[in-house]
Amino acid sequence: MTSKRRSAKECRDVHDLQAEGDVALSPEVCSPSQGITTLKELCEQRWREIKLSAQKLSNTNVRAVDADKSLLQILQEKEKCVQAEIKILKTSKADRLPPDPNVQFEVLKQDLLSSIEQLEETLSLAGSQEQELKNSIEKEQEYERQLLTVNHHLEEKVESFDDGPMSNTRDPLSAVFKELQAKIKKVELVDKQLSKDFDTFLTQHFPLPTENDLKVYKKTLRRTNSGNGAHNLLTLKTILEELMNKCIDEPHDPYITLTDWYWSPYIELLTRCQIVLHHPDHDNKIKLVPFHL
């Protein structure tokens, strides 16, 4: 019973193909193999029709375009092409799915799966864009908070400036300049006082050696006459000033070269206290440790 129903259905499908493709079929053709053969014949027939149409188009004589009315003739030909396309759309039948329910189900299923996949990709893209927008919003909010903080501090400073001793002056810039000059003078006075105290401390605790000190030093180290007396030696203050000036004025080459004018105990004291450093390649060169960096 089932085989008879299936045979009747296949016969109806073949008759539908015969009606669409104008392929001659005998009423007895109802098997699947004959249906595949019918489809092949239908495709070959359509291909022959396409080749025939292309051959007719290639054999069509090309008319020359008048130079004066070239645009008009081109537009007329385009109009004819559009009218022909409209006529074909009106006369041709709309494509429809095969009559087999299983085939229709599979086609619709594939369409739905492709649509779901595209929607998932769109959702993923939208999610990444949303995250980027959230990050951008957070950065902008943080930047806004920083600007508000700076603005608040500036407003406080302006208010203190308005309420301060310079609020009644006609020229605020000159008042600020005078205030800076007063601070500079104060710093200069402090610097002079520190230099004076520094000089007093070094002179009191690190005086220059006497001639007897030099003789004892040379005798202890078993040295001969070095060529310099006590009056030619540099004070510890002078040595430190040279080191500081060299470090600030020539930071690319802060080393000074030791000579007989530099008393060795002073250099050893500075080295032990980690105030100066020796050159890695030359023992007779030292530099001040860069405390300011």
**CA–CA gap between residue 173 and residue 1 (Å, rounded):** 110
User: What pLDDT shows up at residue 133?
Assistant: 94
- DSSP letters of 192-228? HHHHHHHHHHHHHHSPPP-HHHHHHHHHHHT----S-
pLDDT score for 27: 40
Q: Are residues 196 and 215 in the same domain?
A: no
**Distance (Å, whole) CA 104 – CA 122:** 27
> What pLDDT, on a 0 to 100 scale, did the predictor assign at position 21?
43
Q: Is residue 118 part of a domain?
A: no
Kindly state whether residues 189 and 215 are assigned to the same domain: no
Q: Are residues 243 and 188 in the same domain?
A: no
In this structure, are 254 and 214 located in the same domain? yes
268 lies in the same domain as 219: yes
pLDDT at 228: 57
Range of the domain at 200: 172-205
Report pLDDT for 149.
Answer: 93
Q: Does 266 reside within a domain? A: yes
Extended strands (E) in the chain: 256-257, 276-278, 285-288
Instruction: Tell me, yes or no, whether 197 and 220 share the same domain.
Output: no
Q: Band the pLDDT of 15: cuts 50, 70, 90.
A: very low
Q: Residue 31 gets which letter from DSSP?
A: S
184 in helix, strand or coil? Answer: helix
The answer to whether position 67 is within a domain reads no
As for how many domains the chain has, the answer is: 2
pLDDT of 28? 42
Q: What is the C-alpha to C-alpha distance for residues 46 and 20, in angstroms, rounded to an integer?
A: 11
In this structure, the answer to whether residues 237 and 263 fall within a common structural domain is yes
Q: Is residue 146 part of a domain?
A: no
Q: Which of 162, 190, 205 is the last residue of a domain?
A: 205
Same domain, 191 and 214: no
Evaluate whether residue 281 is within a structural domain.
yes
Structure tokens, 290: 């860069």
Would 65 be classed as within a structural domain?
no
**How do residues 203-259 score in pLDDT, each as one tens digit?**
888 887 877 777 777 666 545 445 455 667 888 888 998 999 998 888 888 999 998
Give a yes or no: residue 111 inside a domain. Answer: no
Residue 17 lies in a domain: no
Query: What confidence score (pLDDT) does residue 61 get?
Result: 65
Cβ contact 288:276 at 8 Å? yes
pLDDT for 24-54, tens place per residue? Answer: 444 444 455 666 777 778 788 889 988 888 8
The answer to which of 15-29, 52-66, 161-175, 239-253 has the lowest mean pLDDT is 15-29
- pTM equals 0.38
Token pair listed for 97 = 């799915």
The rounded mean pLDDT for the chain is 78
Contacts of 25 (CB under 8 A, 6+ apart): 14, 15, 17, 18, 34, 38
Most confident of 72-86, 162-176, 214-228: 72-86
Same domain, 213 and 284: yes
Category of 252 on φ-ψ map: left (φ > 0), alpha (ψ -120 to 50) or beta: alpha
CA distance 246 to 206: 22
